[in-house]
Chain A
Amino acid sequence: MSALFLLAILFVCLTIGMPVAISLGLASISTILLFADQSLLSLAQRFFHTMQIYPLLAVPFFILAATFMTTGGVAKRMIDFANALVGHFRGGLAMAALLGCAFFSAVSGSAPATVVAVGGVMIGGMINSGYTPRFASGIICNAGTLGILIPPSLVMVIYGAVTETSIGNLFIAGMLPGLILTLAMMATIAIIAKRQDLPRQPRATLRELLRAGWEALWGLILLLIILGGIYAGIFTPTEAAAVSAVYAFLIAVFVYRDIRLNDVPKVLTESAKTTAMLMFIIANAYLFAFVLTTEQIPQAASEWIISLGLPPWGFLIVVNILLLVFGNFMEPTSVVLILTPIIFPIATQMGIDPIHLGVMMVLNMQIGLVTPPVGLNLFVTASVAKTSMEEVIKAAVPWLIVLFTVLILVTYIPWISLIVPSLLGVL
């Protein structure tokens, strides 16, 4: 009864266009007041307590680092390096755009940020070199989703915080799937390039390649700092995020000199705003999760699912469908926040590894980012490419085949997600 009430209120609030955060909060508060013996005091206390959950402190720092990286010319230098590496292949510019997205994903934890940073330069560049606008925006829109798969990843930080799974391990686990997805898309481009006879770039000399690599190095080192620092035990993921933010500031302002000191307050305000929006959702989602737990909804759902006699792989299909449907209407962090408290306990009971589940959820969210009606990457690509949503949707859809293939691989071969962490001896 209380479960139905909770979900009905949430659904109504979302449908009439209330902010996701307040929809979650209001549904939770009204359910608690009607069905449970909890005071408003304890809810307000819980709300505020969210900002004292240590792993979530990584959120503002990673956002700040990414904003410095996006505003400064880090992306441009990574693209130059990518171009020097693969530009001379047939369809090389498209491959460089893809590789540029993969590189940028290694410093940014956000998919739309990756689209903006790389797409801003590459969509126009590809069109000028004779690629169709549709092909150009299709690549960027999909390759941009690597932002939440290749570490660092905000979605992983949130999943890790909610499920108390090691964020460092999640980061490491995302690397191989990220590599596989990049290679799969690279191969797809190669096939299309051959068929459509797409242009090549002149081959970069070794000297040019080294130079471009050196220029891009300052940005790429960041991933090394984050992962190396976490694994060497020098700092926690939260501290790694703060170090990234300071590092990104130093690089953008003093090494590349793309941002003037005067612009720094603007970067700070912008990042703080993004953080506040996200944390507002997260804090209310914690209230939501609290109601779910007090009303024992995950237990009921889990008993029901297990009574169906579903094997783990059958359960994973259900999870995939659920995530894809939700992912179509909401942005990734909201989906993860709403569904994880329900899915996670069932999955653990079925013996599914939390790391494997996390990586799988991220891939589902990537698909959600490029599918209508609410695909954040579609909106961002449309605005960067200055074209219509319809055009971007048509451009993005064929690439879904690649994303789906990798999703199926990751879902049914846990090895892909678990091998790197276990090789490093952390699992």
Chain B
Amino acid sequence: MSTGLLIRNTIDRLEEGFMAVSLAFMTLLTFTQVVLREFGGGWVWSLEATTYTFGWMVLVGMSYGVRTKSHIAVDLFAKKLPPPIRRIVALTAVGLCLVYCGFMFYGGSIFVDRLMMLGNNARDIPLPRWLLTSIIPVAFMLLTYRFLELAWAINKGIETGLSADHGAHRDNKGDAET
């Protein structure tokens, strides 16, 4: 296994593991909170910890979604195009996604930068706010990386578009949206 592949696999694993652990953590935390309240107790930091974990899970999940091609798109029209045009359209679509990533990365960076200057802690968690929100630029950087990967694959003709073929990826995945 080459080093590049090794690093990629490690990132993939980290993404999946992180998402699973986050979800388990926030579920158990919220559940525990309900139980503790019945006995007149509870932790002040619980809700804030849950929402930040939620934010991190979703942001990391964005790029995971590009890799597994599970983002929902209306691919009806693009799929009807002849292959050479379809490739150009798909590359344009990915290009626009990259523009979006750029905007959000920039916005996220200045947000974190501003919080660093303010230097205050979160309401209930004894951690600086900039640290808790630092995932925003990081996640959009990861998302950029995944879209670049996809653009490369589309250009090489390995992939045809942003979403998987219907039917194929929906098999036994009824837990989808909705």
**Smallest Cβ distance from A267 to chain B, in angstroms?**
9
CB–CB A331/B72 < 8 A: yes
Any chain A CB within 8 A of the CB of B121? no
Select which of B64, B93, B170 is within 8 A of A273 by beta carbon: B64
Majority SS of interface residues in chain B?
Answer: helix
CB–CB B68/A273 < 8 A: yes
Any chain B CB within 8 A of the CB of A274? yes
Within 8 A of A (CB), among B33-85: 33-34, 38, 47, 50-52, 54-55, 57-62, 64-65, 68, 70-79
Any chain A CB within 8 A of the CB of B9? no
Majority SS of interface residues in chain A?
Answer: helix
CB–CB B71/A19 < 8 A: yes
The digit string for B98-137, where 1 denotes a CB below 8 A from any CB of A, is 0110011011101100100000000000000000010010
Q: How many A-B residue pairs have CB under 8 A?
A: 254
**Cα(A283)–Cα(B143), bound, Å:** 15
**Smallest Cβ distance from B65 to chain A, in angstroms?**
5
CB–CB B72/A25 < 8 A: no
Q: Quick one: given A235-B34, A276-B19, are A329 and B174 in contact (CB under 8 Å)?
A: no
Any chain B CB within 8 A of the CB of A374? yes
CB–CB B96/A26 < 8 A: yes
Within 8 A of B (CB), among A4-42: 13-22, 25-26, 29, 39-42
Any chain B CB within 8 A of the CB of A115? yes
Query: In the assembled complex, which residues on chain A have CB atoms less than 8 Å from the CB atom of B76?
Result: 329, 373-374
**Smallest Cβ distance from A396 to chain B, in angstroms?**
16
CB–CB A280/B34 < 8 A: no
The number of chain A residues with a CB under 8 A from chain B is 86
Any chain B CB within 8 A of the CB of A344? no
Any chain B CB within 8 A of the CB of A94? no
Query: In the assembled complex, which residues on chain A have CB atoms less than 8 Å from the CB atom of B93?
Result: 13, 16-18
CB–CB A116/B174 < 8 A: yes
**Cα(A278)–Cα(B79), bound, Å:** 23
CB–CB A44/B78 < 8 A: no
Binding site for B on A (CB under 8 A): 13-22, 25-26, 29, 39-45, 47-48, 51-52, 54, 57, 60-61, 63-64, 66-67, 70, 110-117, 120, 147-148, 154-155, 234-235, 238-239, 242-243, 245-246, 265, 268-281, 283, 329-334, 369, 373-374, 376, 379-380, 382-384, 389
